[in-house]
């Protein structure tokens, strides 16, 4: 039986290259696939494989002093959902661009971040404070097109690098004194974002402990979440139940869908939100008309070569 593990830990690492080599050797020995990032800020990973091998991975990884209390989240899937095992050392654990100047970490995580609250506490807060509670999406905007918390604020961001400029705008001045609950897939991005928000005048910031994944385990589609969860492997999307609401709209016909496809123009890294019917038309599998024109021009050049 196979599964996928999601995890992260903000903690100081003095030699990311050494940790990278150790993690690569460990994952290869257990026949795992996935993606792991290491930086001086900590560790972030998603790996798939046989359950017994994943349990061994957890045991060995927790032997490292800074990782002994990592919370590993289990998800459906397996090693075939990843093309290879990639382990990289980077300057930042999350690519906010210069986030190492934005916050510091210690063995307890991000210093000065928001208060961690459990899914149950999220519901208690909403029941008690109502409209004074604001959900703030810590993911990229395209992820929220297919799933988000009800009435959530969704920043206009295409990449993690856009968040700092977005937070420094005046768009969110009206919620700076409200109870703001940040959320993201597994918790890592919103832990960093919560610290950046507090630095910019947000006074009462929280984050869902374990992210959307943990919330989905607790409430599925019978709580405050609606839609599908975008994941960054071959699965593309995950539903928490058999009655998940479809909130995404096809780019072309406007019909309900949660289906993402890679742009047919190979040089474009963007995704197309497209229903299965429109997907049958190859001329619609492009992120923009410009992508289609470039693709057609490249094909024409190849034919005439």
Per-residue pLDDT of 143-174, as tens digits, reads 999 999 999 999 988 877 788 889 989 999 99
Per the DSSP assignment, residues forming a β-bridge with 9 are: 43
Question: Given its phi and psi angles, is residue 55 left (phi above 0), alpha (psi -120 to 50 degrees) or beta?
Answer: alpha
Mean pLDDT in residue range 235-260: 95
Mean pLDDT in residue range 46-59: 98
Q: Which of 97-111, 196-210, 256-270 has the lowest mean pLDDT?
A: 97-111
Of all residues in the chain, the percent with pLDDT exceeding 70 is 96
Strands in 42-50's sheet, in edge-to-edge order, are 73-75, 2-10, 42-50, 33-39, 85-89
Q: Can you tell me the distance from the alpha carbon of 267 to that of 34, in angstroms, rounded to the nearest whole number? A: 23
- Please give the CATH topology (third level) of the domain spanning 99-230: Oxidized Rhodanese; domain 1 (3.40.250)
Q: Can you tell me the distance from the alpha carbon of 77 to that of 265, in angstroms, rounded to the nearest whole number? A: 28
Please report, in angstroms and rounded to a whole number, the separation of the first and last CA atoms in the chain. Answer: 50
The CA-atom distances, in angstroms, between 7 and each of 42, 68, 210, 228 are 11, 12, 9, 20
Q: What is the pLDDT of residue 305?
A: 44
Per-residue pLDDT at 31 exceeds 90: yes
Q: What is the pLDDT of residue 131?
A: 94
Q: Can you tell me the distance from the alpha carbon of 274 to that of 257, in angstroms, rounded to the nearest whole number? A: 7
263 as an active site residue: the answer is: no
Q: What is the pLDDT of residue 221?
A: 96
Mean pLDDT in residue range 225-248: 93
**Catalytic-labelled residue, pool 184, 250, 263, 291:** 184
Given pLDDT bands bounded at 50, 70 and 90, which one contains residue 303?
very low
Given pLDDT bands bounded at 50, 70 and 90, which one contains residue 124?
very high
Provide the CA 248 distance to its chain's centre, in angstroms.
17
pLDDT tens readout for residues 179-189: 999 999 999 99
- The domains of the chain are located at 2-89, 99-230, 260-304
DSSP run (H or E) holding 45:
strand 42-50
Residue 278 DSSP SS3: helix
Residue 240 DSSP SS3: coil
- What value does the mean pLDDT of the chain take? 92
Which residue blocks in the chain are alpha helix, DSSP H? Answer: 16-29, 51-61, 119-129, 141-144, 163-168, 188-199, 211-219, 276-279, 289-304
Highest mean pLDDT among 126-140, 162-176, 229-243: 126-140
115 near 63, Cβ under 8 Å?
no
- Long-range Cβ contact pairs of 272-280 (< 8 A, separation 24 or more): 273/142, 273/145, 273/146, 273/248, 273/249, 274/250, 275/250, 277/253, 278/250, 278/251, 278/252, 278/253
Q: What is the pLDDT of residue 155?
A: 93
pTM for the full model? 0.86
Q: What is the pLDDT of residue 99?
A: 58
Of all residues in the chain, the percent with pLDDT exceeding 90 is 78
Same topology, domains 2-89 and 99-230? Answer is no
Q: Can you tell me the distance from the alpha carbon of 293 to that of 87, in angstroms, rounded to the nearest whole number? A: 36
Cα-Cα-Cα-Cα torsion 247, 253, 258, 261, nearest 10 degrees, comes to -150
In CATH, which of 3.30.70.100, 3.40.50.300, 3.20.20.80, 3.30.565.10 is domain 2-89? 3.30.70.100
Q: Can you tell me the distance from the alpha carbon of 9 to that of 244, in angstroms, rounded to the nearest whole number? A: 30
Q: What is the pLDDT of residue 301?
A: 55
Per-residue pLDDT at 222 exceeds 60: yes
Q: What is the pLDDT of residue 300?
A: 66
Pairing of strands 73-75, 2-10: antiparallel
The tally of CA atoms less than 13 A away on the side-chain side of residue 82 is 24
Per-residue pLDDT at 234 exceeds 90: no
pLDDT tens readout for residues 57-78: 999 999 999 999 999 999 999 9
């Amino acid at each position: 039986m196979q599964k996928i593990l999601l995890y992260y830990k903000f903690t100081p690492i003095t030699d990311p290259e050494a940790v990278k080599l150790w993690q690569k050797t460990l994952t290869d020995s257990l026949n795992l696939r996935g993606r792991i990032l290491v930086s001086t800020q900590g560790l972030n990973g998603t790996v798939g494989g046989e359950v017994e091998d994943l349990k061994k991975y957890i045991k060995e990884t927790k032997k490292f002093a800074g990782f002994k209390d990592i919370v590993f989240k289990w998800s459906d899937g397996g090693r075939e959902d990843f093309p290879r095992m990639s382990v990289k050392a980077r300057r930042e654990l999350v690519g906010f661009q210069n986030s190492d100047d934005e916050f510091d970490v210690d063995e307890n995580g991000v210093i000065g971040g928001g208060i961690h609250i459990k899914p149950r506490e999220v519901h208690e807060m909403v029941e008690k404070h109502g409209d004074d509670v604001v959900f703030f999406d810590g993911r990229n905007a395209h992820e929220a097109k297919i799933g988000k918390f009800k009435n959530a604020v969704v920043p206009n961001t295409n990449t993690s690098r856009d968040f700092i400029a977005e937070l420094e705008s005046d768009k969110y001045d009206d919620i700076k004194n409200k109870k703001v609950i940040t959320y993201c897939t597994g918790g890592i991005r919103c832990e960093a974002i919560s610290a950046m928000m507090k630095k910019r005048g947000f006074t009462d910031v929280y984050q869902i402990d374990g992210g959307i994944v943990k919330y989905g385990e607790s409430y599925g589609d019978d709580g405050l979440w609606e839609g599908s969860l975008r994941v960054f492997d071959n699965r593309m999307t995950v539903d928490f139940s058999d009655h998940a609401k479809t909130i995404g709209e096809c780019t072309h016909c406007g019909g309900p869908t949660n289906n993402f496809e890679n742009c047919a123009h190979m040089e474009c890294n963007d995704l197309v939100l497209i229903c299965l019917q429109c997907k049958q038309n190859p001329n619609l599998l492009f992120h923009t008309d410009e992508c289609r024109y470039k693709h057609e021009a490249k094909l024409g050049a190849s034919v005439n070569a």
